[in-house]
Amino acid sequence: MADAESTARSMWTLFEPVHAVTYFAPEARSAYQQAGLRGFWRGYFAGRAAPLGAVSAAVVTASFFNFAPAFVARAIPGVWELITPEEALRVRLAGATEALGRLLGDAGVARAGEVARAGEVARAGEVAVAGEVAVAGEVAVAGEVAVAGEVAALSAEAALAADLLWRAVDELDCSGRVLASADAALPRPDDGLGRLWLAATVLREHRGDGHFAALAAADIDGCEAVALRCLLDLRREDMQPVRGWTDEAWDDALARLAARGWVGADGQITSAGRDAHAAVENFTDRAAARPWARLGPEATAEIAAALTPLAQACAAALPYPSPIGVPAPAPPADLVDVELVALRVLHRDRVVVDALLVQDADPGGAEGGEPRRLGVDARLADLERDLPAAAGVDVDVQPVLDRLGIGHQLEPDPRRAAVRIGDPVLAGRA
């Protein structure tokens, strides 16, 4: 897979969880219920279709692609008698931002309990309560201050990530992409969480519109698309009801897939079926690659570094394997800027690291050698002027990288070079 396509898929795993809180977080569901939309699907169809206006069931079925027409018709157009599109948009944004605030707050509390010093991680259960002081290594942190600081830091990161993500949305080509175009035309929210959520929403609908085009080009209809995916890693009993397809429609779809050689006599997906699914996903990645290619590797890496901890916080509200199909958040391995990550760690934990990412091949492994992780060694730089309390203390940066979702992304590449973060870098880029 080309680098641009791989980057597009990896970035999807970062912005999709931010958008998806509108489906899975209780705050979002509660907002619709309080607006008079009882039942999950009224809120779902009203909120997602609202940027299009008070459209008919036929328009929603076409633009959402993989829902049964009769299933859509249970909510649309009747839902417009309960709520206007304008009010649905307001409720949608309010529920999403409330969910983001809570999830980032939870992540901030968790992060406050993981202050890494002297190679140890102070867990939340071991740190300050009611004004007590937690000591991790030789650094004292008041528990309440740490929590407030981490929550504030994540809020600031959310505002930064929002502004960075809008750089990908700006000048986005929405030709042939109805849902993305409708969301992109909405007013940009003033608050950071609102801007973050809407930017993620535009990008996910942009990718989704491209995915539907890829399915149509492969002559795969809505029911066939869901049935084919369920042969890979999802379950029919989970997906068929939430897309509204009858048993007859589903079995007919499987029969059509079998006629193309994609489903075997045993009911399992064939290698040809896997290839067909992979081809659609690759086409989708290709169609979603333009904004990241336009920004270039450095800007995309900056967005990935800012978005990763936020995506991981949002992923706590999502089920995996996801009915949306998105994998767990993972930044692009080839775009991870270790210097940038380390500097972000510095700003949060007052740590400067000298990271050596080392791997080699195990001669006893398959095909003459499997990549083997030797470890990530790190120590605090001797910056007595700026960091007198931390100078000379050895620290393992691996838990920090793991928490940011970076460590496992580096492992597949045994040729990572040493990257030094020190005083000159701090002076030039902090």
pLDDT in tens, 183-221: 999 999 999 999 999 999 999 999 999 999 999 999 999
> Residue 350's pLDDT is what?
38
Residue 301, in any domain of the structure: yes
Q: Are residues 139 and 75 in the same domain?
A: yes
Residue 371, in any domain of the structure: yes
Q: Are residues 402 and 309 in the same domain?
A: no
Check residues 204 and 390 and name the one with the higher pLDDT.
Answer: 204
Which of the residue ranges 12-16, 314-318, 341-345 has the most confident prediction, judged by mean pLDDT?
A: 12-16
pLDDT interval class at 156 (50, 70, 90): confident
Q: Report whether pLDDT(65) > 90.
A: yes
Burial class (CB in 10 A: 0-12, 13-18, 19+), 167: middle
Q: What confidence tens digit (pLDDT) does each residue in 6-22 have?
A: 899 999 999 999 999 99
Q: Are residues 310 and 378 in the same domain?
A: no
Q: How many domains does the chain have?
A: 2
Q: Are residues 301 and 407 in the same domain?
A: no
Q: Are residues 109 and 198 in the same domain?
A: yes
Burial class (CB in 10 A: 0-12, 13-18, 19+), 35: buried
Which of the residue ranges 143-147, 208-212, 311-315, 333-337 has the most confident prediction, judged by mean pLDDT?
A: 208-212
Q: Are residues 296 and 360 in the same domain?
A: no
Residue 269, in any domain of the structure: no
* ∠ Cα 424 426 428 (to 5°): 70
Which string of b and e fits 385-424 if b means at least 16 CB within 10 Å? eebeebeebebbbbbbbebbbbbebbeeebebeebebeee
> Residue 289's pLDDT is what?
95
* Coil, helix or strand at residue 68: coil
pLDDT interval class at 236 (50, 70, 90): very high
Residue 272, in any domain of the structure: no
Check residues 392 and 57 and name the one with the higher pLDDT.
Answer: 57
Q: Are residues 294 and 425 in the same domain?
A: no
pLDDT interval class at 332 (50, 70, 90): low
Contact 120, 395 (CB under 8 A): no
pLDDT interval class at 96 (50, 70, 90): very high
Q: Report whether pLDDT(357) > 60.
A: no
The string of DSSP codes covering 135-188 is EETTEEEEHHHHHHHHHHHHHHHHHHHHHHHHHHHTT---TT-HHHHHHHTSPP
Does the pTM exceed 0.75? Answer: no
Q: Are residues 301 and 425 in the same domain?
A: no
End-to-end CA distance of the chain: 35
Q: Are residues 305 and 421 in the same domain?
A: no
Q: Which residue has the tokens 């912005």?
A: 15
> Residue 105's pLDDT is what?
81
Q: Are residues 405 and 303 in the same domain?
A: no
> Residue 327's pLDDT is what?
80
Q: Report whether pLDDT(340) > 80.
A: no
> Residue 195's pLDDT is what?
95
> Residue 271's pLDDT is what?
95
Check residues 281 and 426 and name the one with the higher pLDDT.
Answer: 281
> Residue 109's pLDDT is what?
53
Q: Are residues 307 and 395 in the same domain?
A: no
In the chain, what percentage of residues exceed pLDDT 90?
Answer: 53
Tokens of 419: 């990257």
Q: Report whether pLDDT(343) > 90.
A: no
Residue 179, in any domain of the structure: yes
Cα–Cα distance, 370 to 143 (Å, whole number): 43
Residue 257, in any domain of the structure: no
Containing structural domain, residue 383: 336-429
The string of DSSP codes covering 251-268 is HHHHHHHHHTTSB-TTSS
> Residue 391's pLDDT is what?
31
Q: Are residues 302 and 356 in the same domain?
A: no
Q: Report whether pLDDT(333) > 90.
A: no
The string of DSSP codes covering 185-238 is TSPPPSSHHHHHHHHHHHHHHHHHHHHHHHHHHTT--HHHHHHHHHTTTS-HHH
Residue 324, in any domain of the structure: no
pLDDT interval class at 154 (50, 70, 90): low
Residue 264, in any domain of the structure: no
Q: In angstroms, what is the C-alpha Rg of the chain?
A: 24
| Contacts of 216 by beta carbon, 8 Å cutoff, 6+ apart | none
- Span 252-277, average pLDDT: 97
